[in-house]
Amino acid sequence: MNAIYILWLRQIKRYFRSKARIVGSIGQPLLFLVALGFGFGPVFAKAGEGDYLAFLSPGIIAMSILFTAVFNGIEIIWDRQFGFLKETLVAPVSRLNIMVGRTLGGATVALLQGLIVLAITIPLGFKPNILNLPLALVFMILIALFFTGLGTAIASLLEDMQGFQLIMNFIIMPVFFLSGALFPADGLPSALKYVLVGNPLAYGIDGLRAALVGGAHFGMGLDFLVLGIITTIILGIGSYLFTKIQI
């Protein structure tokens, strides 16, 4: 447990040491909120769908968690290239404890990033349901754990950063854009509906949106059940692949 705590704390310290990283990770969500929230807001309202900023904000919060969580998992590749991972793995600590510590640290950092973005949305005009913030926090934690575990699983299979751009273009970006973060799930073509149903992030955003503004597409109970199950599975896969890393 001591090793888990040390690795968890190390991930958090690494995040707060990089002020540029904190500022940079806020820039993209802020751009989406301002450009899309205010740019498409009048069109969304004229279509009879209500306040687009209220609809968009949960998706952007989830986006910030998604990217931060995946990047924390992918840091394994960076640590491997510069020898830091080897120093960690040769320590008299089980690899499972190392993976748990890194994952909890990465998920905590991603959660903090999501909370920062949530705080930014409020001055812009987003009015979340304060009473349901604990429920929203549960979904934010599950999103953070899932994508940190996914990042760890991917990084355990890659040996250098050359495949990173491929992962971003063909996995992470489609997961975000086809999650219902930017558009309502109702009235979609059948093909996109099937993609949405198979997208893990869609359940996280749907649950987050239900908690903060109401109006879940799948239902909050189903969102929690599906996200909880797939998070458990991906953490198990990530743990297995991490224990098989060759140094």
10-residue averages of pLDDT along the chain (247 residues): 70 68 76 84 70 89 90 76 68 75 87 91 89 93 93 81 73 88 83 89 93 87 94 91 76
pTM for the whole structure: 0.90
Q: What's the pLDDT score for residue 86? A: 67
Mean pLDDT of the chain: 83
Q: What's the pLDDT score for residue 20? A: 61
According to the 3-state scheme, what is the secondary structure of 41-99? HHHHHHCCCCCHHHHHHHHHHHHHHHHHHHHHHHHHHHHHHCCHHHHHHCCCCCHHHHH
Note the pLDDT tens digit of each residue in 55-108. 899 999 999 999 888 887 777 777 777 666 666 666 667 777 778 888 888 889
Q: What's the pLDDT score for residue 202? A: 93
Rounded Cα distance between 69 and 80, Å, is: 18
Contact criterion met (CB below 8 Å) for 182 and 205: no
Q: What's the pLDDT score for residue 211? A: 93
Q: What's the pLDDT score for residue 62? A: 93
Contact criterion met (CB below 8 Å) for 160 and 69: no
